[in-house]
Homo-oligomer: A and B are copies of this chain.
Amino acid sequence: MTEPTPEQIEKLAIAFERFTRRFKVAEASAVLEHSLNALDIQALLFIDDHPECRLGDVARHLQVALTTMSSSADRLVRRDMIERQRPEANRRSVALTITNKGQQAVSGYVDGYRASCKAMLEALDPVDQTEFLRLTQKIAKYDD
């Protein structure tokens, strides 16, 4: 559309750096709480959103080697957070599903993430909240 000025870009970059730091803190506390590492939490989130997904799906999504994902799944299974199944349809693959305990960990993470989002919106008055959402939606859509 139109070229934003370097000043505008710079301002946005600084603001987003702050937001990112905020989210990182939220992630870190969720990670600590369940003694999971960053990869395992991200894998858990994906598996929660994609029940019966395969190992390769998660690896591709998170851009890690398949073997890395296999290790991650080992850890998650050991901690009773996911289950590995061999589907009859294609017995080479594994279908990953989240357990109750895994869902609890996801909830903890998501709650933290949403709390951060809530705090952000609360900095604005209702009219600006709606406006801010409209704009983020527009950007997110454009992103596809």
Interface residues of A (CB under 8 A from B): 1-4, 8-20, 22-23, 28, 63, 110, 113-114, 117-126, 128-133, 135-143
Nearest CB of B to A16, in Å: 6
Complex contacts, A15 vs chain B, CB 8 Å? 136-137, 139-140
Who on chain B is nearest to A4 by CB? B121
Nearest CB of B to A27, in Å: 10
Q: Can you give 11 contacting A-B residue pairs, CB < 8 Å? A: A1-B125, A4-B121, A8-B130, A8-B133, A11-B133, A11-B137, A15-B136, A16-B117, A123-B141, A124-B138, A131-B135
A12-B120, A16-B23, A132-B139 provided; 18 other pairs, C-beta below 8 A? A1-B123, A1-B124, A1-B125, A9-B117, A12-B121, A14-B140, A15-B137, A18-B143, A19-B140, A19-B143, A20-B20, A22-B143, A119-B143, A120-B143, A122-B142, A123-B139, A131-B135, A132-B132
Who on chain B is nearest to A6 by CB? B114
Cross-chain contact of A23 among B20, B121, B124 (Cβ < 8 A): B20
Complex contacts, A133 vs chain B, CB 8 Å? 8, 11-12
Complex contacts, A122 vs chain B, CB 8 Å? 1-4, 142
Cβ-defined contact, B117 with A138, below 8 A: no
